[in-house]
Chains A and B, each alone.
Chain A
Amino acid sequence: MRDRAATALDAAVAAGAAYADCRVVERTVQSVTIRNGRVNNVSELEDAGTGIRVLVDGAWGFCGTQRDDPAGLEEAARLAVRIARASARTPVARVRLAQAPAVTATYVTPVSIDPFSVTLDRKIDLLLAADAAMDVAGITTRVGSLGAVRHHQIFASTEGSCIEQTIIETGGGLDATATGDGEVQTRSFPNSFGRQQLAAGWEIVEEMDLPGNGTRIAEEAVALLSADPCPSGRMTLILDATQAALQVHESCGHPTELDRVLGFEAAYAGTSFLMPDMLGRFRYGSEQVTITADATSPGGLGTFGYDDEGVAAQRTLLIDRGIFTGYLSSRETASQVDAPSGGTVRAESWNRLPLIRMTNINLEPGTSSLEEMIATTEHGVYLETNRSWSIDDRRLNFQFGTQAGWEIRDGRRVRLVRNPLYSGNTPEFWNSCDAVAGRAEWRMYGVINCGKGQPGQVMHVGHGAAPCRFRNVAVRPA
């Protein structure tokens, strides 16, 4: 792999690149899906290739190739240079890269049990046991899935970096769907979007206890069919940690991406309401709200040794006790605000250009607890597990729906409610946060469907979160 990187970089320089980097990637993805008691899919994907990124006359070019022979790599490098030169047919804003030291290093995700060492028999048996647990009256669709990823990569640059990394991910999850009386209700465990996934080994699947939670979620899905609609009005809202994680993702993670702020995503993913002159001054949320971008968080899907520009993993304060303090940045974007790169550049695979992506965007733990939040709420709702999400292109106007809700009266959960929605405006919402649960209830969650960029890239990102409470939020049924 190192030879391939050297060949590609030499060819890029020979063709005229002032700077070049390349990623030689080997990736294996295994997935197992059980549906209604039958093995629906057992598959393994192996993927290998090289992505070459060049700067020529201040403009970027990129080419991805599966060929691993010298001639193929040289051809791809030359095409990357030609593409960069074509960029000059429009006025070029010359790219400057923030300084970054050349690094020689290795990094491997720490795991106790390699997920690829666990036999398929054992994985299928686990899912079949969970499937049987979900097989309660009223359930029409039961789905269980397990996934494992091994991403092995060499990053090398003409500045002298050579970094070898192996990232391992493991995940699993259940969905139970009940249908009847004009309603379709799904409950998921541990999270929606198919599964909970972490940068960790098989040990995290064993800790989930999928079979032990199957019956509970199935019974909740059936109960939701006949539950009362969610109450409507402005009220106190308590989010479970999984929904808090997605709230952070959409309304804190994306708007702090500096490429959005600079207009790079204006035609697609959108821009941001967070202008650079707001740094250090803008009150994003209440004193309870501290949010970090932490690529060193154990187990997070955004945890690595170095990003895809060779910048070391780091922890950046994005929101410090409510005040907006930082961005997610790349070497290119950081240079435009005279800052060092935040080390948050990532590519889905070898055939995609690295972009600013979330690492682990964490809502730091507070001092409360879910029990205390409910006990001190006169009237409100407690909502669990995302069902729908939507936010505007500047990341201000949002609406989320969750799978389940419970109405709270006088400090107690009094009834299950269905189809809850809540909506709001990002800074107003975070300023209404009056409690975040403490370390004991803080968990790391994985989002495996974060889309961005053209061509589209789906990235795996992490969010540490805990249950949290918001006052005077607009809540209603779908």
Chain B
Amino acid sequence: MSQAALHGGDLLDMADRILRRIPAGREAEVTATRTASALTRFANGAIHQNVADCTTRLRLRLIGDGRAGVAEMQAESDDAAAALVQTAETVRSQAPPGEPVPLYAPDGGPDAETGYGADTEAVTPEQRADHVAVVCGAARDRGQTAFGACETGVTMVAMASTTGLRRSARHSVAELIAVCRGEDGSAYGARFAAGVSDLGVEDLAAEVVERCARNQRAQPLEPGTYQVVLSPYAVAEMLEYLGLMGLGGLALSEQRSFMRFGDPIMSASVSISDDVTRRELAPLAFDGEGATTRPVTLIDNGVGRAVVHDSVTATRAGVATTGHSFPQPNSDGPLPRYLCLTPGEGSEESMIAGCERGLLVTRFWYVRPVHPLATIITGMTRDGTFLIANGRVLRPVRDLRFTQSIVGALADVRAIGANRLASRGYHGATLAPWMHLGGFTFSS
């Protein structure tokens, strides 16, 4: 028995059944989402939390007489469908008239399932436990203790509307996170993929135990501005915050974004895109209003080119939506989902060799915006921070707090790695390489 055994009927049929219940004279959009996920969590070298669930969520947006209402249910019976329609109509009838966000008309985009792996859907609790056992065993062999989580999940989304929209697609996620701790220090590593077979469990285990062995008995380092060699984990976190703060159409229209089209914004070696075609990011083909998600070049050789849009911000800007909407209506506006930093030619080794004095940072932690317009963020280093001197890793250093403008940091890029790693993001996933930056400010 797998998680799939908990599944009910076909989601698109369910969406159609709800549409058939819509009162005459109303426009309606139905979104049915089913996620079957499981997560095996380990601490102190043993599995300590081990869970699975299957959740179906139905969402109905109803528009009529200039009024809009939304109802949502986490259920999938016909009774639930009837109650959903009734609640949405009640909410709609009590809303004041206005200018509701129009329903999206079908754009003919393909329901590609680039980000779906059947192996992930078929994975068993025993297989997840075996992945965990590999990490725990590797740690034990080096006198370390392992912590982390192995997650697998499949999400199917179906949308249907009175405008003729009718589409569905699946995507899957597999993620293995590992933290190993020695006597006096720890290390982090993670792998993310659409297919559980692509995780590279042994490689991850080897990476983390090796890093942990090097990150013992860290010594304090004076805060200040240092060159940094950032691992893909840290680069991905930085990209995510850049996207959250300034790469969406709403932030731009409300003057909250750093973006200036046509202007050099950062180093000419930096190109950033949102690329729904990358299978390793486990993408979904369409967005929360049913628009096909399209690849977007955001920063091109350091020059600002575009932001992502939903239908609302696209209309306001006089362009086409890029398919980055959350379910409408919403207050968040569109956000990037599949950020990719174009690779360079460097490697971790060549960047360290090219760094006279700086810090090698494995991971950022608890990052928060401090000044969104200036893209200033703060956070801590964690699970592996090392001092580089004269092109060699000298010793581990204690974690430091940084307070730094992302755009400012990306203005001085010394090198970009050739290989990239996929990491789970806040609303999708991110593809990031190693980076060597000329200045990064650590405040305490």
Contact = CB atoms under 8 A, between A and B. Distances in A.
Interface of A: 33, 35, 38-49, 51, 59-67, 72, 75-76, 78-80, 82-84, 86-87, 89-93, 119-121, 124, 128, 140-141, 143, 177, 179-180, 182-184, 262-268, 270, 351-353, 387-393, 397, 399, 401, 419, 421, 423, 454-455, 474, 478
B47 to A, nearest CB: 4
A390 B366 contact: yes
B380 to A, nearest CB: 4
Interface in B144-159: 145, 147-149, 151
B268 interface: no
B129 A89 contact: yes
A20 B444 CA distance: 47
A84 B55 contact: no
A60 B254 contact: no
A119 B255 contact: no
A266 B179 contact: yes
Nearest to B380: A392
Contacts of A42: 68-70, 91-92, 94-95
Closest 8 CB pairs of A and B: A64-B53, A86-B125, A120-B94, A43-B70, A89-B129, A47-B74, A267-B147, A87-B47
A393 B147 contact: no
A87 B96 CA distance: 53
B50 A45 contact: no
Contacts of A183: 373
B444 A121 contact: no
B46 A92 contact: yes
A121 B50 contact: no
Nearest to B382: A393
B52 A79 contact: yes
A333 to B, nearest CB: 11
Interface string B320-350: 0000000001110000000000000000000
B49 A184 contact: no
Given A75-B1, A82-B125, A92-B47, A40 B331 contact: yes
Nearest to A455: B39
Given A45-B74, A119-B94, A90 B53 contact: no
B418 interface: no
Nearest to A398: B401
Contact of B181 (A62, A266, A421): A266
B366 A392 contact: yes
Contact of A141 (B42, B186, B254): B254
Most buried by A among B5, B50, B181: B50
A141 B256 CA distance: 11
A90 B45 contact: yes
B443 interface: yes
Nearest to A355: B49
A91 B401 contact: no
A454 B152 CA distance: 12
A264 B149 CA distance: 11
A97 B77 CA distance: 37
Contacts of B376: 478
Contacts of A423: 401, 443-444
Contacts of B147: 263, 266-267
B103 to A, nearest CB: 15
Contacts of A90: 42, 45-47, 129, 132-133, 136
11 contacts: A39-B95, A43-B72, A66-B54, A66-B55, A184-B256, A263-B43, A266-B43, A390-B380, A391-B380, A399-B378, A454-B39
Most buried by B among A92, A93, A124: A93
Interface residues of B, number: 89
A14 B44 CA distance: 30
Contact of B98 (A39, A92, A267, A389): A39
B99 interface: yes
B334 to A, nearest CB: 15
B379 interface: yes
Contacts of B42: 90, 267
Contacts, number: 256
A192 to B, nearest CB: 12
Contact of A38 (B98, B186, B379): B98
Given A67-B6, A179-B254, A390-B367, 18 more contacts: A42-B94, A43-B72, A45-B72, A48-B74, A59-B50, A66-B56, A75-B5, A86-B40, A86-B128, A87-B46, A87-B129, A184-B372, A262-B43, A264-B43, A266-B147, A266-B179, A390-B366, A421-B403
Interface string B56-90: 10000000000011111111100000010001000
A59 B47 contact: yes
B248 to A, nearest CB: 14
Interface in B392-414: 399, 401, 403
A451 B428 CA distance: 18
B371 A419 contact: yes
Contacts of A84: 50
B365 interface: yes
Interface string B116-136: 000000001110111011001
B41 interface: yes
A180 B255 CA distance: 8
Contacts of B53: 51, 63-65, 351-352
A352 B39 CA distance: 11
A263 B366 CA distance: 18
Contacts of B401: 390, 392, 397, 399, 423
A342 B6 CA distance: 35
B5 A79 contact: yes
B264 interface: no
B55 A388 contact: no
Nearest to B153: A455
Contact of B399 (A83, A389, A392): A392
Contacts of B132: 89-90
Nearest to B188: A267
B131 to A, nearest CB: 10
Nearest to A266: B147
B55 A120 contact: no
A75 B374 CA distance: 53
B255 A184 contact: yes
Nearest to A392: B380
A388 B369 contact: yes
A184 B52 contact: no
Interface centre among B3, B8, B73 (most CB of A within 10 A): B73
B368 interface: yes
Given A75-B5, A143-B331, A478 B370 contact: yes
Contacts of A119: 94
Nearest to A124: B96
B24 interface: no
Contacts of A392: 365-366, 380, 382, 399, 401
B26 to A, nearest CB: 15
Given A38-B98, A61-B50, A392-B365, A78 B1 contact: yes
Nearest to B52: A63
A49 B255 contact: no
A42 B328 CA distance: 11
Contacts of A393: 365-366, 380, 382
Contacts of A75: 1, 5-6
A421 B376 CA distance: 12
Nearest to A387: B370
Contacts of A44: 70-72, 87, 91
A177 B255 CA distance: 11
A60 B1 CA distance: 18
B37 interface: yes
B252 to A, nearest CB: 12
Contacts of A263: 43-44, 145, 147
B366 A41 contact: no
Contacts of B68: 39, 42
A402 to B, nearest CB: 11
B49 A267 contact: no
B177 interface: yes
